Amino acid sequence: MVIAVEVANWEVHKTLIDQGSSIDVLYWPTFLELDIPHSLIQPHTKPLVGFAGERAHTRGYVDLLTTFGTSPDTRRIMVRNLLVEANTSYNIIIGRPTLNQLGAVVSTPHL
């Protein structure tokens, strides 16, 4: 499922909901477009290893206030995003940590 979310007061399209992801990812080019101070980046030096064993370089992580839903039915929570340098069609991947925090259940019959 692909949605739009609001991150740090910016609307971000091409946000993938991925129940198989154990982390939340904000891709580096998207982070740069959001004009978020680099001083908010916390160190994270381990590479991200994908399902097939491929590795992607990480730039750290950043905690950002993220809004899900459309008014009046919205939820705002702090999301810890791993900043990843990779070529992808998406801007953000929302994984299990955030889905669990939201109490969200993705149900394909209800899409």
Domains of the chain: 2-106 (2.40.70.10)
What integer best gives the mean pLDDT of the chain?
93
- No. of helices (H) and no. of strands (E), the chain: 2, 7
Residue 111 confidence class, pLDDT cut points 50, 70, 90: low
12 compared with 45, residue with greater pLDDT: 12
Determine the length of the chain: 111
Residue 106 confidence class, pLDDT cut points 50, 70, 90: confident
Cβ within 8 Å of residue 93, ≥6 positions away: 15, 16, 18, 21, 23, 24, 25
Q: Is 27 within 8 Å of 88 (Cβ atoms)?
A: yes
Burial tier of 79 (Cβ tally within 10 Å: 0-12, 13-18, 19+): buried
